[in-house]
Amino acid sequence: MRNAAFVTALLDALGADVVLTDPDRLASYRTDRAMFCDAGTPCAVVLARATADVSTAMRLASEHGVPVVAQGARSGLSGAANAIDDGLVIALERMNQVLEVDVDERLVVTQPGVFNADLSRAVAEHGLFYPPDPSSWEFCTIGGNLATNSGGLCCVKYGVTTDYVLALEVVLADGEVLRTGRRTVKGVAGYDLVRLFVGSEGTLGIITEATLRLRPAAHRPRTLAATFGTVHAAAEGIAAITRSSVVPNLLELMDGTSLHAVNDAYRLGFDDNVGALVLAQSDAPGVAGEEEIAAIAHHLRDAGAYDVVLAADDAEAALLLTARREVLTAFEAMGTTMVDDVCVPRSRIADLVDGVAAIAEKRGVVIGVVGHAGDGNFHPCVIFDGANPEEAERAHAAFDDVMLLGLDLGGTITGEHGIGVLKRTLLERELGPAGLRVQRAIKEALDPDGLLNPGKVL
């Protein structure tokens, strides 16, 4: 076995209860949730229990020249957590403790292996609120959210992960532990290294602890569902809302393909002629919330909504949001999936959905469109028969076409899933030669031997 000396050193330093070498166990750590991304088989997996384990493993990897991939729940959709042949995987799933909730300072200190939903529930017990909530919040980890700078359903009003990160503990490429940031509300001493590491997809360091900003608990939201005959009409309604003074805490769009997929799975009762669904919420208090949800309903009706209905109770609202969160699972039941992640100016949403429909027709594939319409971040999902090489080729072409469409509309190739393996070839198109050169210089400064998640992002 290659890297046998390295594995022996790992076992000596950390023990067999921490270092996995069984081939069957190693195979289970090869990939994240993305499909059609290159992945290898690691020589070992370290089930880190604490920062010291990560530091030791990283130091030994540096000494032996072994590449390292950090993993959380492997729920990512870009291949960023895929293992490398004969490399090391450092799995952070055991580092799953909420270490501190400070009510006075409105912050939480957490390890990276905590699930987003579990963190949200833990702080809610103290009357506090952690807004970033990806659709996968029940099975994605805070570490993964930090690595990709995730957003979620509420980011239209509350922002994305980086807006809530006060401080980080990071293990660097040589095993040294860096603490950066602060617990204070304000602080501008030196370069903002916190924002540098957030969204770096494990290519600059491995995050082992995070101090996150919290908000007071939100008011009970009012949830609205509006149906449309076409996704274009729904997009026009969303554009009207975003042009107005209303700021919903949630504004989501599902096209006919995605709606009927979850309709079948959850028996929501939507008619076959419904071509799109808009979900919206207002968590403004009292009369302000009633006025806000009424204004949202008005804009959607003006855009041609078939029906605009307020959820009757919390259970009905939860069912609608569960269906939105589970749309990817519903897509996977239909075939092989490739999930795009483009973000466009909100004024170009209708152009995006029309363009995606044209791409689907041109390439002869099914593309379901779902996304965080309030901030222009959409996840067109190409659905196809992965066992058919010709159809798979057309699906790959459609995936690239969607990203190029997003760029042509003044947008970006990723709003929250990251670059990983899937989007490396298009990164220079978005950043330009100078931007890519600066990013590579930062990578070389922090990881001169290129051991941290090589082959990803840059």
CA distances from 294 to 219, 223, 234, 248, 303 (A): 17, 11, 17, 11, 14
Burial (Cβ within 10 Å: 0-12, 13-18, ≥19) of residue 424: middle
Alpha-carbon gap, residue 177 to 180, rounded angstroms: 10
* Residues 156-168, mean pLDDT to the nearest whole number: 96
CA distances from 146 to 93, 195, 272, 342 (A): 14, 10, 39, 19
Q: Please check the confidence at residue 197 and state whether its pLDDT lies above 80.
A: yes
Closest by alpha carbon to 224, among 137, 310, 114?
310
Q: How confident is the model at residue 1 (pLDDT cuts 50, 70, 90)?
A: low
- What is the predicted pLDDT for the residue at 267? 81
Show the DSSP H helices in 95-230 as ranges. Answer: 116-124, 142-148, 155-158, 193-197
Within 8 A by CB and 6+ apart from 341, the residues are 77, 78, 377, 378, 379, 413, 414, 415, 416, 417
* Residues 32-51, mean pLDDT to the nearest whole number: 93
Within 8 A by CB and 6+ apart from 359, the residues are 367, 398, 401, 402, 405
Q: Please check the confidence at residue 234 and state whether its pLDDT lies above 80.
A: yes
* Residues 345-364, mean pLDDT to the nearest whole number: 95
Q: Please check the confidence at residue 386 and state whether its pLDDT lies above 70.
A: yes
Within 8 A by CB and 6+ apart from 24, the residues are none
Cα atoms in the Cβ-side hemisphere of radius 13 Å centred on 322: 11
CA dihedral defined by 64, 180, 202, 408, rounded to 10 degrees? -140
Closest by alpha carbon to 173, among 8, 312, 63, 263?
63
Q: Decide: 170 and 262 in contact? Cβ < 8 Å.
A: no
* Residues 32-40, mean pLDDT to the nearest whole number: 87
* Residues 346-352, mean pLDDT to the nearest whole number: 93
Q: What is the average pLDDT value for the chain, to the nearest integer?
A: 95
pLDDT in tens, 96-140: 999 999 999 999 999 999 999 999 999 999 999 999 988 888 999
pLDDT in tens, 269-301: 888 889 999 999 999 999 999 999 999 999 999
Domain ranges of the chain: 4-91, 98-216, 219-324
Q: Please check the confidence at residue 171 and state whether its pLDDT lies above 80.
A: yes
Within 8 A by CB and 6+ apart from 2, the residues are 43, 86
Amino acid at 155: C
Architecture category of domain 219-324 in CATH? 2-Layer Sandwich (3.30)
Q: Decide: 283 and 220 in contact? Cβ < 8 Å.
A: yes
Q: In angstroms, how far is CA 386 from the centroid of its own chain?
A: 24
pLDDT in tens, 327-336: 988 998 898 8
Q: Please check the confidence at residue 388 and state whether its pLDDT lies above 80.
A: yes
Alpha-carbon gap, residue 97 to 118, rounded angstroms: 10
* Residues 157-174, mean pLDDT to the nearest whole number: 97
Q: Please check the confidence at residue 4 and state whether its pLDDT lies above 80.
A: yes
The CATH number for 98-216, chosen from 3.30.465.10, 1.20.120.420, 3.40.1130.10, 3.90.550.10, is: 3.30.465.10
- What is the predicted pLDDT for the residue at 332? 87
Show the DSSP H helices in 98-212 as ranges. Answer: 116-124, 142-148, 155-158, 193-197
CA dihedral defined by 38, 199, 210, 16, rounded to 10 degrees? 10
Q: How confident is the model at residue 24 (pLDDT cuts 50, 70, 90)?
A: very high
pLDDT in tens, 45-90: 999 999 999 999 999 999 999 999 999 999 998 999 999 999 999 9
CA distances from 349 to 65, 231, 278, 346, 377 (A): 46, 10, 13, 5, 9
Alpha-carbon gap, residue 339 to 420, rounded angstroms: 13
The domain over range 4-91 is classified in CATH as 3.10.290.10: no
Q: Which helix (H) or strand (E) holds 391?
A: helix 389-408
pLDDT in tens, 176-190: 999 999 999 999 999
* Residues 376-384, mean pLDDT to the nearest whole number: 95
Alpha-carbon gap, residue 6 to 64, rounded angstroms: 6
E strand residue ranges, 359-416: 366-368, 370-372, 377-378, 381-384
Percent of the chain with pLDDT over 90: 88
Closest by alpha carbon to 324, among 235, 233, 259?
259
